[in-house]
């Protein structure tokens, strides 16, 4: 284990309709954050994308705060079994969001990353900032405007 301090980053996703136009965001502080969006997506896909994008942009050890149990459990519990079974559930069915789960697995490989679930819309400062940016991205995609992509 490294003695380097972990950077705390919040990741969140939003969809204006589910499926519908969506947005994702990760947030460290006012000068370090990113966001983006997609047409015809789901909240879960945007939540996963936010984490994958943060992992791709931020170096060193990370502590990821997320209000999606699906994402936290996918990253910390389920992906290892899914991978052993060829990205399938125990019943043999293909997992949802397979492309993003595989990308998440690759992004986590060799990284020091911890995850923390937080209740959404409950006043956690970093989660609230990520949420604002993810919703703004989803609304921009819905309205045909450019998404503000980050600082």
pLDDT in tens, 49-78: 999 999 999 999 999 999 999 999 999 999
Q: Check if the beta carbon of residue 74 is closer than 8 Å to that of residue 13.
A: no
pLDDT band, residue 27 (cuts 50/70/90): very high
Dist. CA 90–CA 87, nearest whole Å = 10
Superfamily of domain 7-143 in CATH is Ribonuclease H-like superfamily/Ribonuclease H (3.30.420.10)
Rg for the chain, CA atoms, rounded: 15
Instruction: Show Cβ contacts of residue 28 under 8 Å, excluding neighbours closer than 6 positions.
Output: 7, 8, 9, 58, 126
List the catalytic residues: 12-13, 47, 67, 121, 131
Q: Tell me the whole-structure pTM to 2 decimals.
A: 0.94
Residue of 26, 27, 25, 2 lying closest to 14 (CA atoms):
25
pLDDT band, residue 3 (cuts 50/70/90): low
Kindly tell me if the per-residue pLDDT of 133 is higher than 90.
Answer: yes
Q: Where do the domains of the chain lie?
A: 7-143
Dist. CA 9–CA 32, nearest whole Å = 9
Helical axes 43-57 vs 125-143, angle rounded to 10°: 110
Kindly tell me if the per-residue pLDDT of 106 is higher than 80.
Answer: yes
Cβ atoms within 10 A of the Cβ of 85, count? 13
Rounded to the nearest 5 degrees, what angle is found at the Cα of 52, between the Cα atoms of 16 and 140? Answer: 30
């Amino acid at each position: 284990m490294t003695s380097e301090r972990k950077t705390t980053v919040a990741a969140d996703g939003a969809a204006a309709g589910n499926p519908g136009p969506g947005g994702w965001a990760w947030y460290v502080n006012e000068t370090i954050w990113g966001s983006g969006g997609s047409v015809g997506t789901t909240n879960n896909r945007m939540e996963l994308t936010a984490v994958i994008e943060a992992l791709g942009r931020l170096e060193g050890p990370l502590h990821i705060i997320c209000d999606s149990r699906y994402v936290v459990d996918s990253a910390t519990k389920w992906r290892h079994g899914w991978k052993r079974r060829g990205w399938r559930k125990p019943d043999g069915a293909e997992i949802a969001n397979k492309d993003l789960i595989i990308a998440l697995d690759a992004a986590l490989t060799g990284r020091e990353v911890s995850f923390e679930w937080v209740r959404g819309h409950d006043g956690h400062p970093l989660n609230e900032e990520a949420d604002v940016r993810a919703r703004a991205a989803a609304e921009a995609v819905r309205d045909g405007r450019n998404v503000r992509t980050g600082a």
